[in-house]
Amino acid sequence: MNMISKAALITGLIGATTFAIANTAVNQAAIAPQKTTTVKQALTLKDDSKVQLKGYVVKAVGDEKYQFRDNTSTMTVEIDDELWQGKPVNAKTPVTITGEVDIDYKPAKRVEIDVDTIRF
């Protein structure tokens, strides 16, 4: 390989690396809400609003759907199976969940939280 080819290859690798680093996803902790939202407040927020809720997962209601309760109200949350990390949780286990408000209007308005993280 001649010197010009090596220089072109190195320049290309540096450019690709710089592009990849510049386009790395933002750390989720950096965009997670720092303030805890109550369930009552979450039920009034706009679609895709970021929330952090502290309370209890009181029962399973369907495929990855659970009833979540704090001291203000209850609502449905969707928690992907892998987020549980094999930890046993019952209605008395306090948890903190972070996610986004998910509003569906058909057939009637339904507000849920699509959970990104759960802390025990």
| CA 21 – CA 40 distance, rounded (Å) | 40
| CA 103 – CA 44 distance, rounded (Å) | 10
| CA 19 – CA 24 distance, rounded (Å) | 9
Tell me the domains of the chain and their CATH numbers: 29-119 (2.40.50.200)
What is the model's pTM? 0.73
Q: Do 74 and 68 meet the contact criterion of CB atoms below 8 Å apart?
A: yes
pLDDT digits (tens, 9 = 90+) for 46-105: 999 999 999 999 999 999 999 999 999 999 999 999 999 999 999 999 999 999 999 999
The Cβ-side half-sphere exposure at 54, using a 13 Å CA radius, reads 4
| Beta-strand relationship, 65-69 and 50-62 | antiparallel
